[in-house]
Structure 1
Amino acid sequence: MASEDVKPSESAVSTIVNLAEEAKLARAREGVVKAPSYALLSICKSLVAGGVAGGVSRTAVAPLERLKILLQVQNHQNVKYNGTVQGLKYIWRTEGLRGLFKGNGTNCARIIPNSAVKFFSYEQASKAILLIYQQQTGNEDAQLTPLLRLGAGACAGIIAMSATYPMDMVRGRLTVQTEKSPYQYRGMFHALSTVLREEGPRALYKGWLPSVIGVIPYVGLNFAVYESLKDWLIKSRPFGLVEDAELSMVTRLACGAAAGTVGQTVAYPLDVIRRRMQMVGWNNAASVITGDGRSKAPLQYSGMIDAFRQTVRHEGFRALYKGLVPNSVKVVPSIAIAFVTYEQVKEILGVEIRISD
């Protein structure tokens, strides 16, 4: 009898253990399922917040963005825009309110994928570069230097630019066309299909080389200056700006504005050449349409170097900085609006990932 009493007890214990193991495995499987799902949800929420922030900030400064592009591609034989205030008044007088925001829809349409690829690429590049740096130095506590941040930012900028370049190319054309242009692109997808059909796939990447070269200092410096300034403020705590290693929103905005100003000033000449090369082969650009609606000879460049040479020879070195003033004027409010909007949307969606993370 004793043995018979023991056997059920052992069987029961074995059953309980098995059930516990199965429950543990089930919870593990559930955790494996939940963890990626939660991470994916957080990433999606962050992308939505960044997309909304980018769209709102770009829309707020859209008139300055359009004027900048018009100044960049303006034909020196047909000068219509002489400055920021005069240029905005001219657009308002000739095209009205819609003219100030022409091309903004396409610009906003590329914000989400561009920001997603850029920030994701920067995060992955930073991790990879930091791991290699720590292995080479033998210091597991080593942190990214400003130069390494520049490299990670350059990688992110190249990948993001290449991934969304066709949208940027047609945005430039949508922005430049006016009501007097004989032929009109009706929107982003119509412009993409028209360029693809009439000029071929390679036309979608006109100006890609100066864009990639320009994005290296631009995005690279943006990330490097922004994060290095924050890192310096947190470690040095000058003038009592930092308390408990937490930067205020105003300080973050100042860091972002400084980073944007440095980056866009260094890379601006390449941006001008990029825009001009994007107009090659298009006879209906605003830069080649005179005030009476007649066409002048369109811009023709054999390549990036030729575009630089012709621009400097015909218009001088200052032409490489056409549109810099409206571009500089929009940097601070654009970054400020983007940061504030991002933080607000992030808080509404319950995202805990910080933009600097």
Structure 2
Amino acid sequence: MASEDVKSSETAVSRIVNLAEEAKIASEGVKAPAGIAWLTITKSLLAGGVAGGVSRTAVAPLERLKILLQVQNPHSIKYNGTVQGLKYIWRTEGFRGLFKGNGTNCARIVPNSAVKFYSYEEASKGILWLYRRQTGNEDAELTPVLRLGAGACAGIIAMSATYPMDLVRGRLTVQSGSSPSQYRGIAHALATVLREEGPRALYKGWLPSVIGVVPYVGLNFAVYESLKDWLVKSRPFGLVEDTELGVATKLACGAAAGTVGQTVAYPLDVIRRRMQMVGWKDASAVVTGDGKSQARLEYTGMVDAFRKTVRHEGFRALYKGLVPNSVKVVPSIAIAFVTYEVVKDVLKVEMRISD
């Protein structure tokens, strides 16, 4: 299944990239000088990377707690909520424990965010060109549904490109001081997974990740851009006086986008985390932290993971960690969008998300 997932991901990504490139070439007609084009692309990728790193570091403690809540053993509960969970980590692992796995997280999220934002811009251009060609209206604008499609394309490309880092980040985040075996870092974790579980293991949980990223990233971009567009055009309650929204308003749009996206996609994120732990011989000890040998649930696929999770722990298990995740997502997505646009302004990149 993992092999089929990888092959299908490569095919989908290739088609999306080719379509976007063809549409871009056709819509632009005349290409910009190579040097200028590469400089613009580099600046756009840099802005996306900075946005991802800043936003994720700001909420790193909540990110770690969310993953611990998602994968903890239901018979050995250590984390009962956001405040209690953060206090427990502080008490048992200290300040550094709150940011455990953040280096790996940033190593994954920086390129992921860079690719995601840039892919969204390119996918938006391609989809808008196709839409105008189909309708015959050269002045047509992106609709919320089209923005959802562009965001979905961006999410699939970014997720597929950086998925092995996501798997390693999850395992580094979950392991604790009582784990019998320790990953010493990103490179060691990748090498260990390849040696002990094989290359297919790097894409465990890829399918629910992609299925989850379609509504999550798609809704993030669609809600954010549509809200901004609505505010500029309707100017409700006198919130907007010109065509340029303030930072506070953009943060509010980003917060709304993050809330909608993560609520819809959260169960798939839980299943992805659990599938990523399958095959890790020390996963049960890491999750329970009690030093005892415990049986691990094995999943044959995404549907099986859903079924076993609901049967053994109930439907509510699909939303474990939702509260700290909600507290994390709201500022994280908001900060990412605003940071991206601010950095692009500083770097003087003409191309913006909304263009």
Distance 1:348 1:149 in 2: 25
Range that drifts further, 276-285 or 41-50: 41-50
Distance 2:210 2:285 in 1: 24
Shift of 1:323: 0.6
Shift of 1:333: 2.4
Q: Any conservation in 2 of the 1:207–1:277 contact (CA below 8 Å)? A: yes
Letter in structure 1 aligned against 2:270: V
RMSD: 2.0
Equivalence for 2:69: 71
- 5 Å matches for 1:102-113? 102-113=100-111
Give the TM-score taking structure 2 as reference length: 0.86
Equivalence for 1:60: 58
Shift of 1:301: 0.9
1:157 corresponds to 2:155:
yes
Q: Any conservation in 2 of the 1:68–1:323 contact (CA below 8 Å)? A: yes
- 5 Å matches for 1:22-41? 35-41=33-39
* Cα separation, partners in 2 of 1:347 and 1:236, compared to 1, 3 Å: closer
Shift of 1:345: 4.1
Secondary structure of the corresponding residue to residue 180 of structure 2: coil
Range that drifts further, 214-223 or 112-121: 112-121
Q: Any conservation in 1 of the 2:251–2:334 contact (CA below 8 Å)? A: yes
Distance 2:158 2:327 in 1: 24
Equivalence for 1:9: none
* Cα separation, partners in 2 of 1:42 and 1:312, compared to 1, 3 Å: same
Distance 1:63 1:302 in 2: 31
Shift of 1:332: 2.6
Equivalence for 1:187: 185
CA deviation vs aligned residue, 1:183-216 (integer Å, no higher than 9, x gap): 0001111111110111011100000000000001
Q: Any conservation in 1 of the 2:224–2:253 contact (CA below 8 Å)? A: yes
Shift of 1:354: 3.6
Distance 1:107 1:148 in 2: 30
- 5 Å matches for 1:148-227? 148-227=146-225
How much identity, in percent, do the aligned residues show?
Answer: 83
Shift of 1:290: 3.8
Equivalence for 1:244: 242
Letter in structure 2 aligned against 1:235: K
Letter in structure 1 aligned against 2:51: A
* Cα separation, partners in 2 of 1:246 and 1:291, compared to 1, 3 Å: closer
Secondary structure of the corresponding residue to residue 266 of structure 1: helix
* Cα separation, partners in 2 of 1:196 and 1:119, compared to 1, 3 Å: same
Letter in structure 2 aligned against 1:183: S
Equivalence for 1:261: 259
Secondary structure of the corresponding residue to residue 33 of structure 2: helix
1:330 aligns with one of 313, 328, 331: 328
- 5 Å matches for 1:270-349? 270-285=268-283, 290-339=288-337, 341-342=339-340, 345-349=343-347
Shift of 1:219: 0.5
Distance 2:294 2:284 in 1: 10
Range that drifts further, 142-151 or 213-222: 142-151
Distance 1:274 1:213 in 2: 10
Segments of structure 2 that go 5 or more residues without pairing to the other structure are 1-29
* Cα separation, partners in 2 of 1:113 and 1:131, compared to 1, 3 Å: same
Letter in structure 2 aligned against 1:319: A
1:127 corresponds to 2:125:
yes
Distance 1:348 1:132 in 2: 32
Equivalence for 2:13: none
Shift of 1:227: 0.8
Distance 2:162 2:221 in 1: 19
* Cα separation, partners in 2 of 1:290 and 1:335, compared to 1, 3 Å: closer
Q: Any conservation in 2 of the 1:268–1:324 contact (CA below 8 Å)? A: yes
Distance 1:115 1:242 in 2: 29
Q: Any conservation in 1 of the 2:112–2:161 contact (CA below 8 Å)? A: yes
Distance 1:318 1:312 in 2: 8
Distance 1:231 1:344 in 2: 18
Q: Any conservation in 1 of the 2:151–2:214 contact (CA below 8 Å)? A: yes
Range that drifts further, 343-352 or 113-122: 343-352
Range that drifts further, 235-244 or 284-293: 284-293
Distance 2:153 2:31 in 1: 32
Equivalence for 2:9: none
Distance 2:174 2:161 in 1: 22
Distance 2:210 2:300 in 1: 18
Letter in structure 2 aligned against 1:212: V
2:78 aligns with one of 71, 76, 80: 80
Secondary structure of the corresponding residue to residue 301 of structure 1: coil
Give the TM-score taking structure 1 as reference length: 0.86
Equivalence for 2:114: 116
Q: Any conservation in 2 of the 1:276–1:299 contact (CA below 8 Å)? A: no
CA deviation vs aligned residue, 1:126-166 (integer Å, no higher than 9, x gap): 12211221122111111111111111111111111011000
Shift of 1:221: 0.4
